[in-house]
Structure 1
Amino acid sequence: MNNILIYLAVTLGTFLLMECITWCTHKFVMHGFLWYLHEDHHQPKYQGVFEKNDAFFVIFAIPSIALFYFGIRPELNYLFFIGLGILFYGMAYFLVHDIIIHQRFDLFKNIQNPYIKSLRKAHKVHHKHLGKEDGECFGMLYVPIKYFKQYF
């Protein structure tokens, strides 16, 4: 029972830490030396099903897959649960960023939840910058308080 609580804490802690990692990666990598992969995501008239930016799903999946592999060898250990936290964050990212914010699928179009509306506003502010410079709001789940104030 004690190990289960530790593994749950590791998974949840990893999930929460991923928001910080995502913010830093988005600001310094995606808007930095890998801008050529992220640039099409900031183009307002992009019409393809996939963007070059979608390569980041694969890039971020690699550590999770490796942690799963090493987390079961020679027996189940904490690395597996770090990988699980990364996987859960990736799933949340896909749901929130691609489905709810960018509406790449015809789901959740008319959500009136203040948090979701604040999240969409912050992301819209991020996308008002078409270049890699002068960006803001680099996180995914964290929304600066000034955007909440508009909906509460």
Structure 2
Amino acid sequence: MTALAALGITLATFGFMEFWAWFMHKFVQHGPLWFLHRSHHVRHPHPVERNDLFFIVYGALSAALFITGDNGGRWWFWVGVGIACYGTVYFFVHDVLIHGRLRFWKKSQNTYLRALNMAHKTHHKTTGRDGSAEFGLLWVSPKYLELARERQSKIKKREIKNE
């Protein structure tokens, strides 16, 4: 397997995972597996929630692809790398930045990350299985990017005015 092919498979898998995460979230987690995902939509004092089982499933899938992938010699090893990379980004953006499950990354002033946060907050306005919007993670609707830009602009204007 060439380095270019390995990189291509990894990046394609990473990109596909955004679509897959959206699809699973909208039609499976807010569908037949709501009994697991529900824990993510309600406040609770526990550091772990049933919804975390999804991380275990994708982690196990990725590990199985690594183990059987002949140390990078088989194409599916690189699919496992793409899944693992997406899972890592998902963890840091969703669990750490948006939900603050680990307190080392404070809210960002980055327009894109603020837009992601706004979209996710919109998703969590509905605590039930039905009626939610914004199911993706890394792709954000342009309307949230515009809102984030407007808020950043207002903050900057206030800062200048207070100087």
Q: Which runs of 5+ in 2 are unaligned?
A: 150-163
- 2:62 is matched with 64
Q: Which has the larger radius of gyration?
A: 2
Paired-residue identity, %: 42
Count of residue correspondences:
149
- 1:134 is matched with 131
- 1:37 is matched with 36
The CA distance in 2 between the partners of 1:144 and 1:59, in whole Å, is 28
Shift of 1:14: 0.4
- 1:149 is matched with 146
The CA distance in 2 between the partners of 1:7 and 1:150, in whole Å, is 38
- 2:106 is matched with 109
Superposed CA offset, 1:26-81 (max 9, x none): 011111111011101101x21101011111111112221221122118x7111100
Structure 1 length-normalised TM: 0.93
Alignment of 1:87 onto 2:89: no
Alignment of 1:55 onto 2:53: yes
The CA distance in 2 between the partners of 1:38 and 1:46, in whole Å, is 13
Structure 2 length-normalised TM: 0.87
- 2:119 is matched with 122
Counterpart code for 1:135: S
Alignment of 1:4 onto 2:34: no
- 2:23 is matched with 24
The CA distance in 2 between the partners of 1:40 and 1:46, in whole Å, is 8
Local SS of the residue matching 1:108? coil
Q: Which runs of 5+ in 1 are unaligned?
A: none
